[in-house]
Structure 1
Amino acid sequence: MRLEMSSVPSMISTESGCVSSLESTICSLDVSTVAVGDFRVSDLGTSKQVVAGLERLDRSIALSLDQLSGNLGESGRNILAHVERYTLTGEIHPEAGFGDSLKGALNTENREGRLKAVLEAGLGLLEAAKRPGLNLLNITGRTGLIIVLATLLREYIASLVVHATREGDTPEASQAWAAVALAMTGPVLTLIGAVGREFEGEATLRSRLSCIGMASAVMGSAIMACVTGTASKLFPAMIGGVVYNTARAVAESFFPLKDNAERANVMTTGVTAAVHGAVFGMLRELGSVMPLSGPARAAAELGYDFGADAIQAGLNGLGMVVDTVVSILCKSWHVLSPSRGLDSVLSDPESLQRIVLEVRAGVQRPTSAQLADALTLGGLRLSFGHTVNLVGGAAALWLSESEVGDDTQGHIVNGCLAVMMMLLYFPLIFGNLKRTDHTYALPQETPVP
């Protein structure tokens, strides 16, 4: 064969000596244009020219590596020092970050062999982190995007409602009755979904009690808001909640998140509920120091600010991503889900221990059964959100009449709402569970608030 060198960069001379122009043309080189024929080493230039080009390439690579090393943190520099010590002397430090991956290379006598062992161990770590990283990417991309877009829509619609009620001079009594009517949408949807499950034979005692408990909570909070006179002030937030949950339910029906984790039980739900309340309690504290957004900004007669709404949407999306990750991890951990694999086709305990968690976002055309499930879950989420809003409004009004400082009032309200979220999390999850009398379980959408 003969290699035509018309497309290969030639050797040029510079002020620092004779070097190759490969570095300046490699980015624009199209490999498909290189004709492969008989290859002659002499076509690369003289030995001096080849050495000069390789030395310059080596200097460029060394400079890039030095820049990467300079950007490392303290732990990264320590690991780098341990790896360099191993490649030079063969001594393995326990903090090198490779675990037992290098024990098989202890007898490697030369530096090149030890460096190869380090590279293979690094590739093994990357391969091990590939699947968890892909799972996290699916959760973040799907859940985060849906929540952020739904929150932006909620904030915008709620601000429009504030402007409309103020300009139309809507009576407070009308707003209060409208808020109560919106609060009842959650229990109504939950009732419709529960009746359907009763006919299908999929309801359980736990799901029945959860639906009744959630409906009782939202009804009690609505009565509390009416008694304290805060229902009219919460009308825009109630509309925003309906818009948010509707947009989220529609999006999740077409873009489900499926996993092979176990079904939720008391232990997994308890851990997730604690994390959910703590995370959203902290996010509420963080949101209190952020610029006003949505209906609060409109009530203060400030102009619309997309940036403020985007901050609120980002915080809400972050909280829901954390909630989803924790929920799936808890359900896939055999300590919290000791019955792992009972409904699986695989019954060998050793095989079950090798099941690898897989979370994937997909696209589908929802069936009637999936739409019915979305209806039930949407009703539970509406009841959850409306209860938190109504109780939070009533608590804020009650504290405003006391002698407690404004900052302390905010902390107390956020703490109470965090505890309420933890308690309501149980009926939210258990109210959406079905009977599983079959012998295998298909991946199902993870119910999160």
Structure 2
Amino acid sequence: MSTDTLQVPPKRGQLPSTKVFIEDLPRHLDRVVLLEGWLVTVRHSRSLSFLVLKDRSGEIQCVCRDEQAASLKDLNPESALRVHGTARRGRQGAHSEIEIDVSEVSAAASAHAPLPLLPGATEEQRLDHRYLDLRHPKKQLAFRVQSHLEWAARNFLVQRGFLELHTPKITAGGSESGAAVFKLPYFSQQACLVQSPQFYMQMAMAAGMDRVYEVGPVFRAESAQTNRHATEFTCLDVEQSWLEDTGALMDLAEALLHEMLLAVRQRYGAEIMKSLGLPVEVPETPIPRLPLAMARQLSPDLASARLSHQAEQLLCKHARELSGHSFVFITDYPAADRPFYTRCHETAPSAAPLSCSFDLLWRGMEIASGCLREHRHDRLARQAAESGLDDQALSHYLRDFYLPMFRNGCPPHGGFGIGLDRLMMALMGQASIREASFAYRGSERYVP
């Protein structure tokens, strides 16, 4: 799927041309084209000048006569240019085997010198000037890949009868507790930003919508400062009714992920390998499913109640040795370690209950989490009461709006969420979730 060309109607006195992106030039050889992008460098020889132009898809060398390049002499790198010219087969070089024989070049906007972002800038400086940091084809590749990834997810889900929802992001209470929510004044009352759209997805199940999904922002007021955490990120949430088996939910999650990554490999695999030296890993299904109790037998490092990052890395390494890829489901967490709404396996009264839940790990970190939801009102109310939620959370939201949904024939259901920022971080081999976010939000950053 190539980038669509944009037909630009010529004005009086202008050259007729077709707006294209640099990546699409091979389909426009020996045609007059219009390129719009940013100046990288200009090099002058006796009678010619060579300017390098970049857009979101790549870089290209443009060959100018001296009179054409005269207008560029006072322009600094990162100035915005329009270049008309003919796409020609040139010598294989650092930028492309195609070059532009320029017929007209003009500046749409100049860049001031010195630029606020220079080579060698710190991460904080790059995040402060993110618009310049992202103005590079290698950086923008991640967002073209993410766009395709989301398209593939929607295509997969819509073909299977899922409806896309747009749920509220302001709510009266958190989905799990009040400890990790951003609170805000709401006229004369107090509200908070949603931790997850899950309660609204469950409302759709109670409403008989059967299967729904959403791609949207979620908010976590967590102070953790790691390369994997953010206070705002994008999540793909999926919910389906009439599920009684965690295995069926994992089947859906792995089929969805397989389709998403396969679409990326087909469209961008070669470009990702060329740019990053990283193959797009598409898991063979079924993905290994490892109960937590068995996982803990692999190493003493896995003995703690919550899996550490080092433990997740170890489990992914084990999965690669087992199956040839680093995807692995960890299942059957203790019910006490999961949110109150999680359904539990039926066990003897004396045994500690295990939850019908899972996490999906890839390349050493959790990228998805899901569970069957407890849909039986009495059990759900008891689990909520035993979970330690404060009275305000129970009275302000759960008792009046959440729990009543389960009194009137709510079907069994389950769902999962895929953190798209983490998924992109793993897919593109990025060292930090900051690189996978368009404008990162963390405990110490809420600008720009």
> Which of the pair has more CA radius of gyration?
1
Fold similarity call, TM over 0.5: no
More helix by share: 1
The structure that is strand-richer by fraction is 2
Which protein has greater RCO, CA pairs closer than 8 Å, 6+ apart? 1
TM-score by length of structure 2 reads 0.21
When normalised by structure 1's length, the TM-score is 0.21
